Structure formats: structure tokens, C-alpha cells
Amino acid sequence: MTKRYEDYSFWLEDAGEKLIPRPALQRSEEVDVAILGGGYTGLWTAYYLLRMQPGLKVAVVEREIAGYGASGRNGGWCSPRFPVTAGAMTKRFGAEAARSVLAALQASVDEIRSVCEFEGMDACFRSSGTLTLARGAHQMPALRSSYAAYDRLGLAGRYQFLTPDEVKERIRVTDVHGGLYTPDGASIHPGRLVRGLARAVEAHGGVIYEQTAVTDFSGGDRPRFLTEAGELRANKAIVLAGEAYLTRMKKMHRALLPAYSLICLTEPLTAAQWSEIGWNEGENLASMRNTVVYLTKTPDGRILFGSRGAPYAFGSTISDEQDKHLETFALIQRSLIEWFPSLDAIRFTHGWGGPVGMPRDWTPAVRFNPATRIGFAGGYTGQGVSTTNLAGQILAGMITGKTTGFEALPFVQRTSPDWMYEPLRWLAVRYMQDAFLRIDEANEACRQPPWDAFLAEYLGRH
């Protein structure tokens, strides 16, 4: 049965073009660089390869269509946030490295805006900033700790600690005890960005094969991807940029964990409803909840509310059914009304989800092995819009031998430990999902934390 790709997210439905698959690979071919994955990582890598070395033969192979995965389904944030907090990065890599990562990510946010302008991509880029709220007194220690971590890095000037009244001047949300605002970060239209980027790759001479599943890969003097139609051989390098979907291949099965995130979208709000809420600047919005929540004001005046996804499935299974976990959709919709009670009659028009790649140590990796000629980038844990741009620049530089200035970042040329074998993986991940939800529910009900909260928090740090 032919898939209706428009049904996988509002962003793909609203991409501004028909989602007709490009031709598939028909026979064995040879290129300079072959890239697996038609999302942000693969397309940014192809884009910078072609910009750094015009005339290079670059081919992207995608199992579905460009933007099918997280790149076409995310929450619309384009921020300098990293999956590892500033405090944790400082402890793990040192203050200088942590500052370098945050600066590089903000530079990538600016770079995405520049590429959109240069290539004429209407990705609805909006320099909106980011506002993180403490909803409830129990979230204030974490908010203060976050600000203190930036202060220790000498970045406090980029962050403003807000009182409840100061938050209210920006947006009216229930139970706010404080906020942390930064002008850094932006919002984008994910579908239009990824589809525009695919066209830019083609305009610079790249080829994209869609509806082409890669079944295996090998490195060496002649690295290659294997598909049902034949081999895609590369003279210089192959790149693994399939993020969570790489886990479907045996060689990559334990490298990442496919963790689901789900999103609900309201109908467009009326002028009166926006007047009640505020949110005039359209900041990216989040809270300090353990079970992450993220909100975006869309270009057409809707509220996007994202949160936890379907429970982890045994064996790292990825399926369309997990995109539509009704119990989680209901929880997200109740949460939005808790944030904005005046919207109790709002209608939700869309709900979708998908897997993100989560490494065992929460830290993304970008690496290229000159001996095997295999490159890899992934493990963004839901913080990939700006990080993928940075990863693409780094990979393209390593493959072409061009210096980017990002080579010394601590996530370059590293490998995260593999996830454990099943059934231990299923037991550990399901326990963590359940434990953090129970901790949040206890905090929000002003109850004592669960007896095992210390264990969940320890595991969450390791």
C-alpha cells in the first residue's frame, strides 16, 4: 500500500509541495560519497560536501522520502541546547569544552538562518529565543542550578532569571514560580526546512534516491551500501546518518535506542485567545519537568505541545503504531489545558510522533574513520535541529580534509557505549520511563517522592 507521507506530521502536510517520492536506485552505482539517510544529518552533510568541493559526486539514499523521520516531525525548535546539560558537560568535559559546544551550536542556529536566506528556503525561521519555566516550587532548584551552570561558564549575560510577574509579562501560564530566558535560539518549520534542503542539495549537484532501503554496509578501500537494487559504492566515504532508524541494521542495533516523542497540535487560536495567553514573542517554551515537555507557537498561530512518547518496545522495535499512542496523546492534551485553562474548549487537529536516537551516555557523536572510510553522526536525543547542521559541517570537513574549526569539540571522534542486550534493555528503559513519570506526578501533587526516586535519578545521570 502506498504511504500518504502527509499523514505523518502537520509539518509534512504543510510542507508546501507534493510529497512524491524521488526515483529509487535502480542498479549498482559508484560515487565519491554515499550517505544513508535523507534527514537533516544526511542532507546537511551532502550540502556542505558539495559547497566545500564542487563537482564531488554525492548520493543520498533514503528508505522513504526526504524528511520522513525526526527531521519532518520534530517540535520546531532550532536552539543551542545540547542533550547533556551545561552543568553535566562541564563535569564531563571541562568548562572550556562546554563553552565551545554552546558557542558552536548558537553559530549553527545562525548558519541555518544564513543558508535559508542564501538558498531561498522559506523555513519560517524566527529568532524567538527560549523561555524555560519552573511550574511549581519543586522545579525551582533545577532552574536555579541551570542558571548557576551558565554563570560558572561566564554565560550569565545571555540568560535572564525571571520572577513570576516577569514571566507573566511574556506569557500567562499556571503555577509559574520563575523562569529563565535567553534570546538565543529560534523556531523553524521543520518540513519546509528539510524539503528545501533536499532541493538545495540537488541544485548543487547531489543525487537523492528515495524508496531505497539499505540492508547492510561495509568499509575499507571501497566502502559500500547494499540495497535490493545493487551496491552503492563510494570512492571516498560512506556516511551513516539514519539516526534512530539505523538500529534496524544488525551492526548498529545497540548503538542507539529509538526513544519516542509525541506531539499534539491545536487549531489556530483566535485573536481573543492569544490576548488571554500573551506569548507575543513566540519564544520556544519548556519546563523543568523530568518528563520533558516542549511548546512552540507555529507560524499559522497554533500551539504545539510535545512530550514523552509511546513506551519503549522490546527489541528496539520501530512501528507506525507507536506514532499514535492514544494514552500519551490524551495526557499531552490534558497537560496543555493545565498550562492554559482558558483553552479548555480548544480543538486538537493533529497528533503525531516518531523515534529519536538516544545513545547510552546521552551524548551525540560525529566521527569519521579514515581507515574504514565510514562516517557517522547521530544520537541527538531530540535536540537535533541545530546539532545536525554542526554535524554536517564537521563530517564534510573530515571527508574533504577541510578545517572547520569544530574538530576539537568533545563529541567529535567519539563512540558511546552500546546499550545492553535484551531483555535487560527493555527492563531498564521501561523502568526509567515509569520512574520519572511517577516522580513528576508526585511532585505536582505535593506528595513525597517515590521510594526509588534516588535510584532513577542516579541512573539518569549515568
pLDDT digits (tens, 9 = 90+) for 323-374: 999 999 999 999 999 999 999 999 999 999 999 999 999 999 999 999 999 9
The conformation of residue 27, written as its DSSP 8-state character, comes to: S
Tell me how far apart the alpha carbons of residues 62 and 129 are, in angstroms, rounded to a whole number: 33
Answer yes or no: is 30 within a domain. Answer: no
pLDDT digits (tens, 9 = 90+) for 113-162: 999 999 999 999 999 999 999 999 999 999 999 999 999 999 999 999 99
pLDDT digits (tens, 9 = 90+) for 158-193: 999 999 999 999 999 999 999 999 999 999 999 999
Same domain, 326 and 440: no
At residue 303, the pLDDT reads: 98
Same domain, 325 and 448: no
Range of the domain at 429: 424-461
Q: Quick one: pLDDT band at residue 1, thresholds 50, 70, 90?
A: low
Same domain, 444 and 315: no
Same domain, 160 and 282: yes
- 208: β partners: 60
Same domain, 261 and 345: yes
Q: Quick one: pLDDT band at residue 429, thresholds 50, 70, 90?
A: confident
Q: Quick one: pLDDT band at residue 430, thresholds 50, 70, 90?
A: confident
Answer yes or no: is 436 within a domain. Answer: yes
Query: Does residue 450 have a pLDDT over 90?
Result: no
pLDDT digits (tens, 9 = 90+) for 200-249: 999 999 999 999 999 999 999 999 999 999 999 999 999 999 999 999 99
Residues 6+ apart with CB under 8 A from 120: none
Query: Does residue 313 have a pLDDT over 70?
Result: yes
Same domain, 151 and 280: yes
Answer yes or no: is 60 within a domain. Answer: no
Q: Quick one: pLDDT band at residue 434, thresholds 50, 70, 90?
A: confident
Query: Does residue 440 have a pLDDT over 90?
Result: no
pLDDT digits (tens, 9 = 90+) for 392-415: 999 999 999 999 999 999 999 999
Query: Does residue 461 have a pLDDT over 70?
Result: no
pLDDT digits (tens, 9 = 90+) for 78-95: 999 999 999 999 999 999
Residue where a domain terminates, one of 343, 358, 373: 358
Same domain, 351 and 445: no
Same domain, 348 and 434: no
Tell me how far apart the alpha carbons of residues 298 and 9 are, in angstroms, rounded to a whole number: 13
User: How many domains does the structure of the chain reveal?
Assistant: 2
The pTM (predicted TM-score) of the whole model is: 0.96
Average pLDDT, the chain: 94
At residue 256, the pLDDT reads: 97
* Burial class of residue 192, CB neighbours in 10 A (0-12, 13-18, 19+): buried
Mean pLDDT of 17-23: 97
Q: Quick one: pLDDT band at residue 423, thresholds 50, 70, 90?
A: very high
Answer yes or no: is 129 within a domain. Answer: yes
Answer yes or no: is 104 within a domain. Answer: no
Same domain, 286 and 172: yes
Answer yes or no: is 354 within a domain. Answer: yes
The CATH number linked to 269 is 3.30.9.10
Tell me how far apart the alpha carbons of residues 393 and 49 are, in angstroms, rounded to a whole number: 8
Dump strand ranges (E) for 72-213.
77-78, 130-135, 160-162, 176-182, 186-187, 207-209
Q: Quick one: pLDDT band at residue 456, thresholds 50, 70, 90?
A: low
> Looking up cell 542558571, which residue turns up?
147
Tell me how far apart the alpha carbons of residues 283 and 128 are, in angstroms, rounded to a whole number: 5
Angle between helices 95-119 and 86-93 (to 10 degrees): 120
Residue where a domain terminates, one of 334, 358, 382: 358
- The share of the chain scoring above pLDDT 70, in percent, equals 97
Residue where a domain terminates, one of 358, 388, 407: 358
Answer yes or no: is 171 within a domain. Answer: yes
Same domain, 284 and 433: no
Answer yes or no: is 192 within a domain. Answer: no
Query: Does residue 35 have a pLDDT over 60?
Result: yes
Same domain, 261 and 339: yes
